[in-house]
């Protein structure tokens, strides 16, 4: 038996306390009658408790740190290694053998700049689902970009670009405030036929990779890109080619 695939992002949001009362109550009722979803929530709690009780605060020996940094410098391309930062001091000492190799491998992974938080796609999918389930697609419901853009003034510490792409097949629906990774972000809403596209916009974190990212999770496609000082994440159930087309049209319109 497997978890209900259409419930997984919402279950994560429920566990993190991110669902509104109405949706939380509905999902809790589902969990009470679904053994697999209930077991999934229980596993999240067990994992959290295990991590919180694990003694992972020991510093690595200096010789391990030096070895890992040398391995990182030798394995990364020049364009990437220029961003390298010492990380071995954060790696606990687990001893030699296979476990030690796992620790070293983890350190190498952490040394490479990550494009975003590891759970970011799940957070974005949960936000997309919440906007549809809670009937809260937009705080300002209009296709007039001259109304949507100034609506964000004073609500965010940055100004998201807003364009209407109706002539390109992606009409603007409106905008709203959302919360991703513990901070408010702009969510611009577009349509593609009967499908919804949520475009989440936030300031790019320092040192974030500028490489575009395309992901497929469950029934959703995600596209991530950078422009100027802002990071964009588009989420929708349209196919990947159409979402890439949306990204290209948005980039072209905002560059004018």
**Residues 15-28: pLDDT tens digits?**
777 766 777 777 78
Candidate from 56-60, 145-149, 201-205, 252-256 with smallest mean pLDDT? 56-60
Question: Which DSSP symbol is given to 156?
Answer: B
Residue 87 confidence (pLDDT) above 70: no
pTM score, whole prediction:
0.56
Hey, where are the domains in the chain? 8-53, 62-111, 120-255
Q: Which residues contact 121 (CB under 8 A, 6 or more apart)?
A: 215, 217, 222
pLDDT (tens digit per residue) in 172-230 = 999 999 999 889 999 999 999 999 999 999 999 887 788 889 999 889 999 999 998 99
Residue 42's contacts (CB-CB under 8 Å, 6 or more residues apart) are: none
pLDDT band at 255 (very low <50, low <70, confident <90, very high): confident
Report the CATH fold assignment for 120-255. Phosphorylase Kinase; domain 1 (3.30.200)
Averaged confidence pLDDT in the chain? 79
Please state which of the ranges 12-26, 83-97, 232-246 shows the lowest mean pLDDT. 83-97
Whether residue 144 is predicted with pLDDT greater than 90 in this model: the reply is yes
- C-beta atoms surrounding 99 within 10 Å: 10
pLDDT > 80? residue 162: yes
Give the pLDDT band of residue 49 (cuts 50, 70, 90).
confident
Stretch 34-60: mean pLDDT, rounded? 74
Beta bridge partners of 234: 199, 223
Tell me what pLDDT residue 74 has. Answer: 59
Residue 120: Cβ-neighbour burial (10 angstroms; 0-12, 13-18, 19+)? buried
Whats the size of the chain, residue-wise? 256
């Amino acid at each position: 038996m497997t978890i209900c695939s259409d419930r997984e992002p919402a279950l994560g949001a429920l566990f993190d306390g991110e669902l509104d009362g109405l949706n939380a109550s509905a999902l809790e009722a589902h969990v009470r009658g679904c053994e697999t979803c209930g077991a999934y929530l229980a596993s999240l709690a067990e994992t959290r408790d295990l991590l919180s009780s694990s003694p992972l605060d020991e510093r690595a020996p200096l010789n391990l740190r030096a070895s890992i940094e040398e391995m990182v410098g030798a394995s990364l391309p020049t364009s990437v290694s220029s961003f390298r930062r010492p990380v071995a001091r954060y790696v606990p000492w687990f001893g030699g053998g296979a476990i030690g190799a796992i620790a070293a491998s983890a350190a190498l992974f952490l040394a490479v700049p990550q494009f975003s938080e590891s759970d970011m796609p799940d957070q974005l999918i949960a936000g997309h689902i919440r906007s549809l389930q809670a009937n809260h697609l937009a705080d300002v419901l209009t296709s007039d970009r001259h109304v949507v853009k100034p609506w964000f003034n004073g609500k965010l510490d940055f100004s998201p670009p807003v364009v209407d792409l109706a002539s390109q097949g992606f009409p603007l629906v409106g905008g709203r405030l959302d919360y991703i990774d513990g901070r408010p972000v702009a969510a611009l809403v577009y349509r593609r036929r009967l499908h919804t596209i949520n475009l989440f916009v936030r300031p790019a974190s320092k040192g974030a990779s500028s490489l575009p990212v395309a992901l497929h999770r469950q029934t959703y496609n995600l596209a991530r890109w950078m422009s100027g000082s802002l990071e964009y994440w588009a989420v929708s159930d349209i196919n990947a080619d159409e979402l890439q087309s949306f990204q290209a049209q948005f980039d072209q319109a905002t560059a004018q």
